[in-house]
Amino acid sequence: METKIFQADILDAARLIQQGKLVAFPTETVYGLGANALNEEAVKQVYQVKGRPSDNPLIVHVSSFEMVEQYAEDIPILMKPLVEAFWPGPLTLIVKGKKGVFPDCVTGGLATVAFRMPDNQKTLQLISQAGVPLVGPSANTSGKPSPTTAAHVYHDLKGKIAGILDDGATQIGVESTVLDLTSEDNIPMILRPGAVTRNDLEKVVGTVAIDQHLIKENEAPKAPGMKYKHYAPDTPVLIVEGSKEQWKEAISWATNNKKKVGIYVSQEIVDFLGTNDFIAVSFGKNTVENATRFLFAGLRELDGKNVDIIFAQAFPEELLGAAYMNRLKKAANQNFFKS
């Protein structure tokens, strides 16, 4: 199969969606693998192409709140202020779906549906012109680092999907916050942290809980990205936290064990180490925003450098750092470097 790259010809990409084919699309977070969410056969292709477990529900991408109203019922009163505050944007909202609308392969057999309106004009046009909501899991091989450029998608899925709508590199770099609005106590619960933080949400709706539960391989998650190990490159990853001296210890340990080392760090740490005993991918200025935006791209780049181990920089698990560390800890299978 030829995989076409679309730039401005969005109508052509929308026609492929209408024909039941798969088209990857850009968002502000990562690239999604698009298919008509109402077409069971098209959605099943998404699972096959990604190699994704079919018990893992998919996020339904819409171009308006009115589209949600077509497919959801008993919409909680909290949803409207959240939509007004954060849509379009990196927030996915789980609500009760209308029976018989979405196939089980979209919902994972659950009565709930996860909806998101992405903050990308090309993709909003794609959804509108296709006339249907789109599923949109990350457009990559399941479990591997998510794609943040069209080139990443092409690397993973060339010849497996009909097209890729290219809009350059994503701005945030990790998937959306997932907020469950269906709890019995009516307290919204974060199932997956993202760029919309708990603090942001509580300013709009009051108390918000966080699900700290790690889904095991034999459990069915309520939202994507909840598996214990996820976002992982082929190369083992260890997280390095603490002082700059801890980085020296990590590099020394690896080189003493004859391991070729890759590091994902700020330029400040690269400059401090001042050695050629590693291959570095720097995210530049030492901020969690930079670290988050380039995390998946950095892991992908180091994975292609034939290194034996990747060390990645930790950040405090607060605000955006919660989303960054959520992805990094899953990429590392929860493993930290211990001196």
C-alpha distances (whole Å) from 333 to each of 20, 120, 124, 292 are 35, 31, 34, 18
The amino acid at 170 = T
Query: String of b and e for 34-62 (b: at least 16 CB within 10 Å)?
Result: bbbbbbeebbebbbebbebebebbbbbbb
Coil, helix or strand at residue 128: helix
How far from the centroid of its chain's Cα atoms is residue 189's Cα? 18
Q: What are phi and psi of 2, to 5 degrees?
A: -80, 135
Residue 330 burial (C-beta neighbours within 10 Å; 0-12, 13-18, 19+): buried
Beta bridge pairs of residue 309: 261
Q: Tell me if 28 sits within 8 A of 146, measured CB to CB.
A: no
Annotated binding residues for ATP:
52, 56, 112, 138, 146, 192, 231
- Residue 203: in which H helix or E strand, if any? helix 198-205
- Residue positions in the annotated binding site? 29, 52, 56, 61, 112, 116, 138, 146, 176, 192, 231
Q: Is the dihedral of CA 28, 194, 228, 136 positive or negative?
A: negative
Give the annotated binding-site residues for L-threonine: 29, 61, 116, 176
